[in-house]
Amino acid sequence: MITTASSPTLTQAWNDIDAIIRTNSKTFYVATNLLPKKQRDAIRALYAFCRATDDLVDRENATVDMLEAWRTEVQRPASQQTNPVLACWASVREHYAIDSRYEQELIDGVKMDLQFHPYPTWSALETYCYHVASTVGLLSMPIIGQARNTRFEQAAPYAIRLGIALQLTNILRDVGEDVRHGRVYLPIEDLQRFGLTIEDIRHHVYDERFIALMKFEIARARQLYLEALPGICLLSPSARPAVGAAALLYRAILDEIEAIDYQVYEQRAHTTAWRKIALLPLIFWTILRLRRPSLAE
């Protein structure tokens, strides 16, 4: 456990972080169990920080001023933190010399949700996905480490692609939930491609046009995973099983969306615990068969 003080409050914070992840992200909890303990604790502190940041948007009275106050609080060193989650995360950030630029970009992404506007193009949505998801991968890389003779800058593009794939999977899984929060993330240009509008999504239109749209977006997400997975070979050997499991268990959500016939307005596709366990041998075999990409110097 990484800590700056041996206080009951901070010890409880680390315990709370573990409980938060076990409750809110079972896939992430399973995957991070494959990491060595020191890295596992640090990555879970990162998750708790990201979760706390994201939760700010879901507050009924959330404002930009509240988010900016949080941004200021996040920047404080561990020795000055009063929020237990931020105290844990700040100690990790300092221990691993993590670039705070990616924290700020993550908060910028959360601000996009707070000031939500529909995304006109895939490129615009991709930028959002980078801010709220790829930044998490970039923040985690100093913790999990790179393979021998691999620089951060060489591995980063693969982490970025994986983050975008994960966030797009979230968007496709959560169409109904997001509509209930007043948000439609699907790009307007994609809706138009299939003869749909934002109002159609808000009114839960489910027909051959919507199914075609979902198939299109799922194919895009799978391509992103395909492009990202070779980057696992650029990570430290101890991190590869956890990152690979997280990526491939999340990719399996796309299969579950198909299994419920794309009825994502009322159902939330998920992979059951037994299914996750059943997938692990294939996941490990897939990771072992990955080939290291050629890198430009």
* Mean pLDDT of the 184-196 span: 98
Instruction: Indicate if the alpha-carbon torsion angle 193, 167, 159, 101 is positive or negative.
Output: positive
Cα radius of gyration (the chain): 19
Residue 38 · residue 2 · CB < 8 Å: yes
Spelled out in words, what is the top-level CATH class assigned to the domain 116-297?
A: mainly alpha
* Mean pLDDT of the 204-210 span: 98
> What is the reported pLDDT for 145?
94
Q: Is the pTM of this model over 0.85?
A: yes
Q: How confident is the model at residue 25 (pLDDT cuts 50, 70, 90)?
A: low
- Domains of the chain, by residue range, sit at 1-99, 116-297
* Backbone φ/ψ region at 9: left (φ over 0), alpha (ψ -120 to 50), beta: alpha
Q: How confident is the model at residue 35 (pLDDT cuts 50, 70, 90)?
A: confident
pLDDT of 7 above 90: no
> What is the reported pLDDT for 106?
97
pLDDT of 254 above 90: yes
What are the two backbone dihedrals, phi and then psi, of residue 235, each rounded to the nearest 5 degrees?
-95, 165
Nearest CA to 44 out of 105, 97, 91, 110 is that of: 91
Nearest CA to 21 out of 33, 35, 4, 7 is that of: 33
In angstroms, the Cα distances linking 248 to 146, 150, 224, 253 are 20, 23, 12, 9
Residue 85 · residue 49 · CB < 8 Å: yes
* Mean pLDDT of the 142-159 span: 94
> What is the reported pLDDT for 184?
98
pLDDT of 239 above 50: yes
> What is the reported pLDDT for 8?
46
Distance of alpha carbon 259 from alpha carbon 264, whole angstroms: 11
- The three-class DSSP label of residue 146 is strand
